[in-house]
């Protein structure tokens, strides 16, 4: 068995005296592990940094085995982002989110979204909002997507300002007013389907904080807590730096 694909480095651990088990997120083969012989050499260590993009060839006698990678660098993002604390915490959190995905399950759209996010992690005015959207995408790919398209109570698609913590569906201002203390805020930038550079309104810090509160609630309810995990420290630090808390 063998294949070749590009991949995003999302983790690695030592194996033997000189090797590493490399964890990649690839567009066609999903989250995939493989052994890199000599992965701890001086030549390979700068390449195998979380957040970097590589070209990887995977080979194994059996499809279900660990297999081995041959890796070539494509783009070193870490060297570009090294001076930004926000970016480094963002890489740590992004990689942690991708490691929640089932192994060898392709998620090409999420892979593309991760590349966009990494390209903008050093843009302090844009990266936090993109991270919120990325967390929403991860929830959707894990089967816990939120329905923010119309009101759960009335079916209308205007004046959507709340999200039900029970159903994960949007709620309009009029329908949600009697229950506002029990609902989560839906910031305007999450109702806007346009992308940065095409008329997208830049959200303010309060909008982004509300976005992180929203995604954090559902990540905790459906992903972290069922796996006996806590919200990662990298996320808390990224949110604090990104929203001025």
The CATH number of the domain where 14 resides is what? 2.40.50.140
Residues 108 and 212 both lie in one domain = yes
**What are the distances in angstroms from CA 43 to CA 39, 46, 47, 245?**
8, 7, 8, 39
In contact, 25 and 141? CB cutoff 8 Å: no
Total number of domains constituting the chain: 2
pLDDT at 48 (0 to 100): 97
Spatial distance between the Cα atoms of 72 and 54, rounded to a whole number of angstroms: 6
Q: Is 194 part of a structural domain of the chain?
A: yes
185-214 mean pLDDT: 80
pLDDT of residue 198 exceeding 50, the answer is: no
Residues 29 and 130 both lie in one domain = no
In contact, 212 and 239? CB cutoff 8 Å: yes
pTM, entire model: 0.94
Residues 47 and 140 both lie in one domain = no
135-155 mean pLDDT: 93
Residues 9 and 88 both lie in one domain = no
Percentage with pLDDT > 70 across the chain: 96
Record the tokens describing residue 157, joined without a space.
Answer: 């698609």
In contact, 131 and 122? CB cutoff 8 Å: no
Q: Is 172 part of a structural domain of the chain?
A: no
234-245 mean pLDDT: 93
Confidence of residue 193 (pLDDT cuts 50, 70, 90): low
Residues 110 and 227 both lie in one domain = yes
Residues 32 and 136 both lie in one domain = no
185-203 mean pLDDT: 71
pLDDT at 64 (0 to 100): 87
Residues 18 and 84 both lie in one domain = no
Residues 20 and 110 both lie in one domain = no
pLDDT of residue 192 exceeding 90, the answer is: no
Q: How many residues does the chain have?
A: 245
Confidence of residue 110 (pLDDT cuts 50, 70, 90): very high
Q: Which domain holds residue 66?
A: 2-75
50-95 pLDDT, tens digit per residue, is 999 999 999 999 988 999 999 999 999 988 999 999 999 999 999 9
190-217 mean pLDDT: 80
Mean pLDDT of the chain: 93
pLDDT of residue 222 exceeding 80, the answer is: yes
Record the tokens describing residue 47, joined without a space.
Answer: 């390449």
Confidence of residue 147 (pLDDT cuts 50, 70, 90): very high
């Amino acid at each position: 068995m063998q294949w070749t694909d590009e991949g995003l480095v999302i983790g690695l651990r030592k194996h033997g005296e000189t090797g590493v088990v490399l964890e990649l997120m690839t567009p066609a083969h999903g989250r995939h592990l493989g052994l890199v012989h000599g992965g701890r050499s001086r030549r390979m260590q700068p390449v195998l940094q979380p957040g970097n993009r590589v070209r990887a060839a995977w080979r194994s006698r059996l499809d279900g085995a660990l297999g081995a990678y041959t890796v070539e660098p494509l783009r070193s993002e870490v060297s570009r982002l090294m001076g930004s604390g926000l970016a480094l915490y963002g890489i740590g959190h992004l990689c942690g989110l991708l490691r929640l995905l089932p192994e060898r399950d392709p998620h090409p759209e999420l892979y593309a979204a991760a590349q966009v996010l990494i390209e903008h992690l050093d843009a302090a005015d844009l990266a936090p909002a993109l991270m919120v959207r990325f967390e929403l995408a991860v929830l959707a790919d894990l089967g816990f997507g939120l329905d923010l398209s119309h009101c759960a109570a009335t079916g209308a698609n205007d004046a959507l300002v709340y999200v039900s913590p029970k159903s994960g569906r949007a709620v309009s201002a009029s329908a949600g007013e009697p229950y506002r203390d029990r609902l989560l805020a839906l910031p305007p930038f999450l109702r806007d389907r346009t992308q940065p550079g095409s008329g997208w309104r830049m959200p303010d810090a309060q909008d982004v904080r509300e976005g992180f509160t929203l995604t954090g609630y559902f990540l905790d309810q459906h992903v972290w807590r069922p796996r006996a995990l806590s919200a990662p420290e990298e996320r808390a630090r990224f949110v604090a730096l990104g929203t001025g808390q």
